[in-house]
Copies of this chain bind each other. A is one copy, B any other.
Amino acid sequence: MTLQQVAAQAQVSPMTVSNFVNGKHHFMGAETKTRVAEAVAALNYRPDSAARGLRTARQRSIGMIVVDQSPQYLSDGFSTQVVSGLSNAVNAAGYTLQLEGLRPDQLAQSTLIHHVRTDGLCMMLSGSGSARKAFTDAVGRLNQPALLFLEKPKRGLADCCAVLQDDRRGGHLITRHLLERGARRFWLLKQSHTQWQAIREREKGVAQALAESGRTTGLHAVDCGSGRFEETQVALRQALTKTSPTDAIIAMNDQMGIAALKFLKSRGARIPQDIKITGFNAFDFWQYSDPLLTTIRSPGYDIGTTAGHEMIHRLKAGQFQKRSITLDVELIQGGTT
C-alpha cells in the first residue's frame, strides 16, 4: 500500500496525500481532505518509515544502549526507570526508541552504532575505563548527537549531553547522617561485577564526608561480586570473621543493603542499635525491607524523561541546551539507622 495507490483512490496527487498524512492541512480544501482521509482509512495505509527516512535523512528514532555485565540488563532498577522515562518522552514526540543491551566487551556487536538507524544515541555505560572509552570514542566518530546517563560529559564527545544525579551528594548525605547517629567505623558494600561511574561518585561523597569530620580511617570496602543476594551475604560472612567489627554498613544500592539487613538480623544483630545500615536508590522494591532501609532516593524516571526531552530539543534546535544536567537526590530516613 503506497502513497500513489491512496492518491489514485482519492483522485488526487501523491503530494496531496503526503501533505495530509504529515499534518500539513493548512492549504487543503475541506472536501479534498475528507476524500483523502477516507482513502487512507479504506486502504489501511501506513507510511513507510524507511522511504521517508531515506528521503528526509531523519529516522525519527532514538537509540538507547545499556552496557551491563548481566544479560538481564534491565533488572537493575535504575536502567528500568531510565528506559521507561526515556521511552515515554521520545514516544510522545513521535519518535521510536530502539533498545540494545550489551556487555562491556560487545561494542563490535552493536547494531545501533554500526548502522545508521537513529537520529541520536543515548548510553548508560559501565565497565572498565578503557571499555567505556571505547564506546564513547566509537559514538564520537558517528557524527550523531549523543547523550550519556550518569556520567560527566566526555571531552571526546562534542555533540553530547550528560544527564546525571548528584551521587556525590548522596554519598555525602548518607555518611553525615550516619556520623550524626554516632557511627565511627564503616563498611562500604560495593559490587565489582559491573562498574558504574555513579558508584565512584557515591564513594567520593562518602570519603569527603568522613574527611570533613576529621576521620580518614575507619572505612573498609567489602567486595560483593555481582551484588546479588547470596553473594552479598557470603561476602559479609567473610568480612565478619576477617575484619574488625563495624558500627555501620553503607551499601551502594538497596539490593545489597537489604541482603545485609536480612543476614545480620538472622545472626541476631539488633538494627540499628548494634549496626546501622543504609542503601541507595529507593526503587520500588526498597519498601519490602523490614525494617525500612534508610536510603537515598534516585530520580531514575525523571532522568529518563529529562534525557528524552533534551534529545528531542537537540534534534529540533540543532544543539543541546546544556552540556550537563544534574538532578537532585534526597535522604530517606528508615528504621535501620
Q: Cβ of B91 and Cβ of A80 under 8 Å apart?
A: no
- CB-contacts of A68-96 with B (<8 A): 71-75, 80-81, 83-85, 87-88, 91, 94-96
Chain B residue with the shortest CB-CB distance to A59: B50
CB distance from A135 to the nearest CB of B (A): 15
Expressed in whole angstroms, the Cα–Cα distance for A145 and B258 within the complex equals: 43
Contact A101 B87 (CB under 8 A): yes
A119 vs chain B, min Cβ distance (A): 11
CB distance from A170 to the nearest CB of B (A): 21
Q: Are A75 and B71 in contact (CB under 8 A)?
A: no
Name the distance in Å between A72's Cβ and chain B's nearest Cβ.
5
Specify which chain B residues have a CB less than 8 angstroms from the CB of A91 in the assembled complex: 100-101, 109, 111
- In the assembled complex, the Cα of A100 lies from the Cα of B97 at a distance in Å of 7
- The answer to whether B111 and A48 have CB atoms under 8 Å apart is no
With A72-B84, A80-B75 in contact, do A100 and B96 touch (Cβ < 8 Å)?
Answer: yes
* A84 proximity list for chain B (CB < 8 A): 71-75, 101
A229 touches B116 (CB 8 A): no
| Cβ B44 vs Cβ A48 within 8 A | no
A72–B81 contact, CB under 8 A?
Answer: yes
Give the number of times this chain occurs in the complex, counting copies. Answer: 2
Choose, from A149-157, A161-169, A191-199, A281-289, the stretch at the interface: A281-289
In the assembled complex, the CB of A91 is this many whole angstroms from the nearest CB of chain B, namely: 6
A26: interface (CB < 8 Å): no
Q: Check if A15 is an interface residue, CB within 8 A of chain B.
A: no
User: In the complex, are the beta carbons of B101 and A88 less than 8 A apart?
Assistant: yes
Q: Give chain B nearest CB distance to A293 CB in angstroms.
A: 10
Cβ-defined contact, A98 with B98, below 8 A = yes
The listed residue (B48, B97, B115) touching A54 by CB distance below 8 A is B48
Given A54-B48, A101-B84, A262-B288, is A96 in contact with B112 using a C-beta cutoff of 8 Å?
A: yes
Q: Is the CB of A99 within 8 A of B97?
A: yes
Q: Is the CB of B115 within 8 A of A49?
A: yes
Candidates B44, B80, B117, B259; contact of A74 at CB < 8 Å: B80
Chain B residues with CB under 8 Å of A73's CB are: 84
Annotate A25-67 by CB proximity to B: 1 below 8 A, 0 otherwise. Answer: 0000000000000000000101111110110000111000000
CB of A98 within 8 A of CB of B61, answer: yes
**Nearest CB of B to A316, in Å:** 17
**A59 to B84 Cα, complex, angstroms:** 24
Query: Is residue A234 contacting chain B, with contact meaning CB distance below 8 A?
Result: no
Q: Is A142 an interface residue (CB 8 A)?
A: yes
The answer to whether A133 has its CB under 8 Å from any CB of chain B is: no
Which of B74, B97, B98, B288 meets A289, CB within 8 Å?
B288
Is residue A242 within 8 Å, beta carbon to beta carbon, of the partner chain?
no
Answer yes or no: A274 CB below 8 A from chain B CBs. Answer: no
Q: What are some 5 contacts across the A-B interface (CB < 8 A)? A: A50-B51, A95-B111, A96-B100, A258-B288, A262-B290
